[in-house]
A and B are shown apart, each in its own frame.
Chain A
Amino acid sequence: NAGVTQTPKFQVLKTGQSMTLQCAQDMNHNSMYWYRQDPGMGLRLIYYSASEGTTDKGEVPNGYNVSRLNKREFSLRLESAAPSQTSVYFCASSEASREYFGPGTRLTVL
């Protein structure tokens, strides 16, 4: 099992560009999450999906959209990137109250 995988690992964007962060899990979990991590602020939930076909806003959803393409995949889209979205992005999936995290995507917006 690969667990939770994320692509890309690193990305640099210019302000206004768009991109999609990909996440996939092979553990057959229903729930998937997107977090961002900023220094001194811990992880903050952007969006989550409790099951295939459903998505809900987390604490900091503005500027992002998500798609739960199927049970395995949950993508995060930045339509018009801003410097404030420079962060490390983590995808996670969970079952039975245990969360499994991907390795993260380090995004810089210039």
Chain B
Amino acid sequence: GEDVEQSLFLSVREGDSSVINCTYTDSSSTYLYWYKQEPGAGLQLLTYIFSNMDMKQDQRLTVLLNKKDKHLSLRIADTQTGDSAIYFCAERPGNTGKLIFGQGTTLQVKP
């Protein structure tokens, strides 16, 4: 079946690193995504990783993929108050056009 799980809440201090974790079940997923949603807004694609990659880095963002354990993480270095938002992990199972989302992790950044 298709299921994506995330912890619901993470609180960090400004300047620390944040790590948001996600597990997924469909091993046929070709792409895995991280979206950011600020209050009252739509979803913004932050980054994505192809399933044959272990790691992808984009400025302050690092995505790690452990395909064996079906575990995806998003690390935000030097977290800022502007990073406070809900972060969604999503998988796209092979041969479908559909995205399956996790419940979202609310990141709270304290000054």
The interface of chain A, by Cβ under 8 A from chain B, is 31, 33, 40-45, 48, 50, 58, 90, 94, 97-104
Tell me the dominant secondary structure on chain A's binding face: strand
> Does any Cβ of A come within 8 Å of B68's Cβ?
no
Number of interface residues of B (CB under 8 A): 20
User: Within the assembled complex, what's the spacing in Å between the Cα atoms of A45 and B96?
Assistant: 13
CB neighbours (8 Å) of A31 from chain B are 97
The interface of chain B, by Cβ under 8 A from chain A, is 4, 8, 30-31, 33, 41-45, 48, 88, 92, 97-99, 101-104
Query: Which partner residue on chain A sits nearest B4 by CB separation?
Result: A42
CB neighbours (8 Å) of B45 from chain A are 98-100
Q: Knowing A40-B8, A99-B45, A101-B42 touch, does A94 contact B88 (C-beta < 8 A)?
A: no
Query: What are 11 A-B contacts with C-beta separation under 8 Å?
Result: A31-B97, A33-B99, A40-B8, A41-B103, A42-B4, A42-B103, A43-B88, A48-B98, A97-B31, A99-B33, A101-B42
